[in-house]
Chain A
Amino acid sequence: MDLASLGGNILGTIPLGDIVLYVTPFHLFMFVVVLIFTALIAISRTETQVEGSFGTLKDHKVSVGLSEFKSRRFLAIICGLATAGAMITGDLFNFTLFIALIGIVNVGIVSAVKQIDVLDAAYQYGIIAMICSLPLFGGASIILASTGTLSLFELASMATATPMMIFGSLLLLMGVAGETGIAPFFATKAEMFRTPGSPFILIIHLSSLFVIIRTIEILLIIIKII
């Protein structure tokens, strides 16, 4: 398969032995956008969330405390960097590692919050993410076992996909679905966004959507139905 038919013309490659990093306009766009958002997170304050109170006409304000702010900002930046890594990597195993890291820090970003509903949602998401790490790494392992490489550049140059490669791809897809909390797992993740700290919850959403898009590209490289 011609990689240029997916993400546009290859702008450059960085050969690191078997692993060849390659950059197309698609990867470059995603990488730069993630870095811009990560920089924004690093310099932004958090909003003060105004909420109505039951049984009274008064509002109450929920804001992020200083120590909570510092820990959440640190984890959000780590998440941003992990997402940037997942966008640019040319190695399937690195990709799964970045996704696992994203799953862990996503739970961490909201675990410092002192709201029971939000913590419940983070706990449920954490369980799903942990369970899905098995098919995630299992899928990558099966692809390695059936092809002898995890380099996407090498995988793209293979003529056909064997049934084991397709099975590994499906496992990988299941793993990504759970780790990123997309449908049918999105309900718990949406509840996590009820907490204040807009810049931090942005990176949770951004990492999920970008990883899904990159996964589509990777699956198309591996499956080669054409």
Chain B
Amino acid sequence: MNLMANIIINVVIAFLVGSLLLGFHRKVMARIQLRPGPPIIQHFLHSLKFFFKETSFPKTAAMPFYVAIACMYCAIWITAVIVGPISYGSLLLIFAIYAVYKIVEHNAGSSSGSPYGKMSCVRAVFSAAAEIPLFAVLVIIFFQTGTMNLGEIVAYQSANGPLIFSIPLAALMFFILLVSKSPYSPFSITKGKDIISGYETEHFGVLRGYMMLSESISWYILLWVFLTVFIGPLSLLGYLIGMVVITALIAIINTITPILNPNHSVMSQVSIAIIGIGGSLLIMLIV
């Protein structure tokens, strides 16, 4: 297939599946709370709606930085689609993309001049300090498989079985990262309701549309990376079932857990990262 067509198709699939999964996430949370909840398609409709609404810019914003950041947010996750499902490239590259995402999250908040965005920006620094060690799970994957290449990691699992059984603590760390990035998560301090919508508070119209589109793609990609790296070679149906199951599981966790304050959130994540990395290395040394 033509590369450009392949990229467009995969980005559209990532957006559609990601937005439906986020809608499903809200539905599960609502049903547990005995509410009917919005339709599953709601997140998708919201994303499209913002592309047709009027775009306004705060007088206090740092231009053109404020606009460029929203565009970068979208661009990096499209790059992730290319590196991941399309080319099965380096996991280290996806780590770099995730780091850029943390920077975009940080500066989307501060570039508007809003105090809520600014608070979210400071919290993003804390959360990056906690999430990056969680993403360092990649090092353990490298120690186990000897490669950072996604294609080779899948091949390794075909021969030796899924990594979730050989390095379960690493899988747990990545799962905690997934929980952190899900809506209404106990670790979502950058978008806590005490700071309205955090870094998204002052983005309207098309810019907000870009951000919602990026959120959907990022959710799809993170789930895809988890399933590819820890479960191994899966069919299309396998990926779909895996994504739905993990989204439902995370929705249940988010429903029954309050949002932690920033200090507790960071310390919980750092503690899990230390236990995960230390425990995984210990298991690898013993086995």
Contacts and interface: CB of A to CB of B under 8 A. Distances in A.
Contacts of B130: 183
B122 A212 contact: no
Contact of B60 (A29, A36, A48): A48
B169 to A, nearest CB: 17
Given A8-B93, A198-B111, A61 B60 contact: yes
Contacts of B106: 193, 202, 205
Interface in B91-130: 92-93, 95-97, 99-100, 102-103, 106-107, 110-115, 118, 121-122, 125-126, 128-130
B197 interface: no
B90 interface: yes
A173 to B, nearest CB: 11
Contacts, number: 146
Interface in A182-201: 182-183, 186, 189-191, 193-194, 196, 198-199, 201
A184 to B, nearest CB: 8
A125 interface: no
Nearest to B124: A205
B125 A193 contact: yes
Interface stretch (A132-140, A146-154, A157-165, A213-221): A213-221
A47 B113 contact: yes
A32 to B, nearest CB: 10
A15 interface: no
B249 interface: no
B255 to A, nearest CB: 29
A26 interface: yes
Contacts of A95: none
B90 A186 contact: no
A128 to B, nearest CB: 14
Interface in B156-196: none
A145 interface: no
A50 B114 contact: yes
A186 B125 contact: yes
Contacts of A202: 65, 103, 106-107, 110
29 contacts: A26-B96, A30-B96, A33-B96, A37-B103, A40-B68, A44-B62, A45-B65, A47-B62, A50-B60, A51-B115, A61-B60, A183-B129, A183-B270, A186-B125, A190-B129, A194-B122, A198-B65, A199-B111, A202-B106, A202-B107, A205-B107, A209-B128, A210-B96, A212-B99, A213-B92, A213-B95, A216-B95, A216-B139, A225-B143
The 3 residue pairs across chains A and B that have the minimum distance between CB atoms: A186-B129, A44-B65, A47-B62
